[in-house]
A and B are shown apart, each in its own frame.
Chain A
Amino acid sequence: MSGYTPHTPADVAAMLAAIGVDSIDALFAQVPARLRAGARIALPPGLTEPELCQRMAALAARNATPGEPVAFLGAGAYPHVVPALVDQILRRAEFATAYTPYQPEVSQGTLQAMFEFQTFVAMLLGLDVANASMYDGASAAAEAVLMARRVLPGRRVVWIARALHPHYRATIATYVRSLGDVELREIPIASDGRSDLAAVAGRIGADALCVVLGCPNVFGVIDDVAGGAACARAAGALTITVTTEPLALALLRSPGALGADIAVAEGQSFGLPVSYGGPGVGLFATAERHVRSMPGRIVGETVDAHGRRGYVLTLATREQHIRRERATSNICTNQGLCALAVTAYLSLLGRTGLRELAAVNYRTAHAVAARLEAAGVARRWSAPFFNEFVIRAPEAAARWEAIAAESGVIPGFPLGRWYPELSDTLLVCATEVHEPAHIDRLVGALAGAAPRMRAAER
Chain B
Amino acid sequence: MLLDEPLIFERGSPGRTGWRPPPAPEGAVEELPEALGREDGLAGFPEVSELEVLRHFLRLSQWNYSAATTFYPLGSCTMKYNPVVNEEVARLPGFAHLHPLVPEALAQGALELLAALEEALAAISGLDAVCLQPAAGAQGELLGMQIIRAHHLAQGDPRRRVLIPASAHGTNPASAALCGYEVVEVPVSGRGLLEAATVAALVDESVAALMVTNPNTLGLFEEEIEAVAAAVHARGGLVYMDGANMNALLGIAKPGDMGVDVMQFNLHKTFSTPHGGGGPGAGPIAVRATLAEYLPVPRLVRRDGRLLWSEDAPRSVGRIRSFYGNFGILVRAFAYIARLGGPGLEEVTRLAVLNANYLRARLAAAYHLAYDTPSLHECVFSDRRLQEHGVHTLDVAKRLLDYGFYAPTIYFPLVVKGALMIEPTETETKETLDEFAAALCAIAEEARTDPALVRGAPHRTRLARLDETRAARHPVLRWRPAAR
Contact = CB atoms under 8 A, between A and B. Distances in A.
Nearest to A16: B354
Interface string A247-278: 00111111001000000001000000111111
A93 B69 contact: yes
A405 B353 contact: no
A338 interface: yes
B329 A278 contact: yes
B353 A94 contact: no
A232 interface: no
B467 interface: yes
Interface string A142-181: 0000100000000000000000010110110111011110
A36 B17 contact: no
A107 B466 CA distance: 12
Contacts of A366: 29-30
B308 to A, nearest CB: 11
B351 to A, nearest CB: 5
Contacts of A99: 67, 72, 74, 77, 79, 275, 277-278
A433 to B, nearest CB: 8
A314 B473 CA distance: 9
Interface range on chain A (Cβ under 8 Å from partner): 35 or more
A280 B39 CA distance: 27
Nearest to B179: A178
A212 interface: no
B351 A291 contact: no
B37 A251 contact: yes
B33 interface: yes
Contacts of B354: 7, 12, 15-16, 19, 24, 27
Nearest to A344: B57
A401 B401 CA distance: 57
B322 A105 contact: no
Interface string A337-381: 110100110111111111111011011101100100000000000
A310 to B, nearest CB: 5
A457 interface: no
Interface string A222-251: 100000000000000000000000000111
Nearest to B146: A178
Given A321-B412, A331-B138, A350 B321 contact: no
Contact of B38 (A27, A89, A253): A253
Given A97-B82, A275-B327, A337-B277, A15 B358 contact: yes
Contact of A35 (B257, B321, B412, B468): B257
A39 B255 CA distance: 9
B64 interface: yes
A59 B331 CA distance: 11
Given A105-B465, A135-B136, A333-B281, A174 B46 contact: no
Interface centre among B113, B142, B341, B475 (most CB of A within 10 A): B475
A122 B124 CA distance: 43
Given A137-B322, A310-B463, A310-B466, A351 B25 contact: no
Interface in B350-389: 350-351, 353-355, 357-358, 360-362, 373-374, 376
Given A2-B344, A324-B170, A347-B53, A73 B18 contact: no
A330 B478 contact: no
19 contacts: A2-B347, A19-B357, A27-B354, A27-B374, A35-B253, A38-B257, A77-B99, A85-B53, A96-B277, A98-B67, A112-B60, A135-B135, A274-B98, A291-B477, A300-B472, A301-B471, A344-B53, A354-B45, A360-B22
Given A5-B351, A251-B38, A384-B33, 19 more contacts: A6-B428, A41-B345, A53-B89, A62-B109, A73-B101, A81-B22, A96-B82, A102-B410, A274-B100, A275-B327, A279-B327, A291-B475, A302-B468, A302-B471, A303-B467, A324-B170, A327-B170, A348-B18, A384-B36
Contact of B321 (A113, A171, A351): A171
Interface stretch (A42-50, A203-211, A390-398): A42-50
B344 to A, nearest CB: 4
A343 B277 CA distance: 14
B106 A63 contact: yes
A321 B170 contact: yes
Contact of A41 (B50, B124, B361): B124
The 6 closest A-B pairs by CB, nearest first: A277-B323, A60-B94, A62-B109, A337-B276, A46-B341, A277-B100
Nearest to B29: A366
Contacts of B68: 93-94, 96-97
B469 to A, nearest CB: 9
Contacts of B300: none
B366 to A, nearest CB: 14
B320 interface: yes
Interface residues of B, number: 203
B196 to A, nearest CB: 13
B85 A107 contact: no
Interface stretch (B8-16, B199-207, B230-238, B446-454): B8-16
Contacts of A359: 24
A419 to B, nearest CB: 14
Nearest to B469: A302
B99 A274 contact: yes
B335 to A, nearest CB: 6
Given A300-B477, A400-B103, A62 B112 contact: yes
B92 interface: yes
B301 interface: no
Nearest to B91: A87
B343 A45 contact: yes
B250 interface: yes
Given A98-B275, A302-B470, A357 B21 contact: yes
Contact of B65 (A2, A27, A107, A360): A107
A455 interface: no
Interface string A90-109: 01111111111111111111
A364 B24 CA distance: 6
A79 interface: yes
A194 to B, nearest CB: 12
Given A32-B223, A275-B96, A323 B124 contact: no
Nearest to A248: B38
B105 interface: yes
Interface stretch (A64-72, A185-193, A445-453): A64-72
B322 A136 contact: yes
B278 A139 contact: no
B288 interface: no
Contacts of B57: 89, 92, 95, 113, 340, 344, 347
A350 B65 contact: no
Contact of A351 (B41, B139, B341): B41
A352 B38 CA distance: 14
A149 to B, nearest CB: 11
